[in-house]
Amino acid sequence: MTTKRTKSKTSKITKKQKKVKPQFRKKIKKVLTPKKTAKILAAAEAELAASKEAEKKLKLSKMYFTQDTEDAIIEFNSTEDVDKRNELYRTRIQRPFEKLAENIFNTFKFTYFEVGPLDAQKEVVSFLVSNIHKFQPGKGKAFSYFSIVAKHYLILQNNTNYVRFKRHVDIHDQPIERKELVVHPITNSKREESREFIKLMVKYWENNVNTVFTKKRDLVIANAVIELFRKSDRIENFNKKALYLCIREIADCKTQHITKVINKMKNSQASITKDYINNGTISDKSLYTVNS
């Protein structure tokens, strides 16, 4: 019985094949069934998904400052554990900071530095670490914030060094003339008098800043201004923009708030100067009216 059935089946197949031209008979045997088609499509889709995932991973590997970096910075600021902070910085923050400093330094082509590019970038990383606590989640991305901080630091240092280099004159660039070095007493006296005035003015503001300013934000800005006066002999660039950048970095505030505080301090400056000219000193007490 089985032999008859198989014979009948083969006979039917041969009859069908006979109706088809010889060159197409093999192709009929290879016609895909729906099940095979589904398997092939599934394999192709899996291969496409795998290639897309690999491409995505490649793109992420090229990004040095990611969401993971920002999460690490937030975690760094939220813990007081020194060992945990060191681990977070070493494993998740250090490399993005170094790459950020390198990219900004090379992008803006800062040239007026006394040290080499690598040392300058290390200084930037140190400055970023010292200001890491100022980053506030929810007020923008960490990448944008630290990019601005790094750029402002480099601009300030570059401008300061430029002024210093501009003042320096190589002896070989000058005509050879035998002249004695003369120190003008009047100029030297004015310089000393200016230092004495700044010293007394700083002392006055140290004693009265808490009386003049009551808001915490204004106090921070005013103390930043006082700190600049305190270090005035070490500041090479007295450009207004550069000084504002310094205050912004120290106080972490907006420009309009700095202007408001400085204007308030300027209101009493005329009285302070007058007191120094007339009496040779500045009273420590709050004698000068500051308009609110």
Which strand (E) or helix (H) includes residue 222?
Answer: helix 216-230
Is 122 exposed, middle or buried, given 0-12, 13-18 or 19+ CB atoms closer than 10 A?
middle
**What is residue 30's predicted lDDT score, i.e. its pLDDT?**
52
Picking from 225, 68, 223, 93, the residue whose alpha carbon sits closest to that of residue 146 is 93
Average pLDDT, the chain: 75
Asked whether the predicted pLDDT for residue 209 surpasses 80, the reply is yes
Count Cβ atoms within 10 A of the Cβ of residue 152 and give its class: 0-12 exposed, 13-18 middle, 19 or more buried. Answer: middle
Helix extents (H) in 80-141: 82-88, 94-108, 117-130
Cα 25 versus chain centre, distance: 71
Q: How many CB atoms lie within 10 A of CB 179?
A: 5
The confidence score (pLDDT) of residue 266 equals 85
Percent of the chain, pLDDT > 90? 17
Domain 67-169 has CATH 3.40.50: no
Hey, where are the domains in the chain? 67-169, 179-279
For residue 69, pLDDT beyond 80: yes
**Tens-place pLDDT, residues 228-274:** 888 777 766 667 777 888 888 777 888 888 889 888 888 888 888 88
Residues of 34-64 as b/e, b for ≥16 C-beta within 10 angstroms?
eeeeeeeeeeeeeeeeeeeeeeeeeeeeeee
